[in-house]
Amino acid sequence: TPCGTKEMDHMSPRLRAFLSEPIGEKDVCWVDGISHELAINLVTKGINKAYILLGQFLLMHKNEAEFQRWLICCCGATECEAQQSSNCLKEWCACFL
């Protein structure tokens, strides 16, 4: 995997799985922190793929606080979901960008 195993030790299995390979065409529900309900809200907004959600994160200049506010206010995420998913995308960027 692109990430070293030392950093991977503290991660949830879902986050580890997401970071183990490029995003490709994965559905948005693959992103750690995205619940079934939040995925439905995102798909309704046209964000059906993980790479589209990553694009939004990148458009916000990888600003986790801004991304989390957007997820909570515009997409109905909980604070926990917003933190988990922004961390997931941040970690993915650290591995692949």
**Cα–Cα distances in Å, from 89 out to 32, 77, 82?**
8, 15, 11
- pTM, 2 dp: 0.88
Question: Sorting pLDDT into bands at 50, 70 and 90, what band is 67?
Answer: very high
Question: Sorting pLDDT into bands at 50, 70 and 90, what band is 9?
Answer: low
CA atoms in the 13 A half-sphere facing the CB of 36: 0
- Domains of the chain with bracketed CATH: 22-96 (1.10.150.40)
Reading the block at residue 35, the tokens are 């619940």
- pLDDT digits 0-9 by tens, 16-54: 889 898 899 999 999 999 999 999 999 999 999 999 999
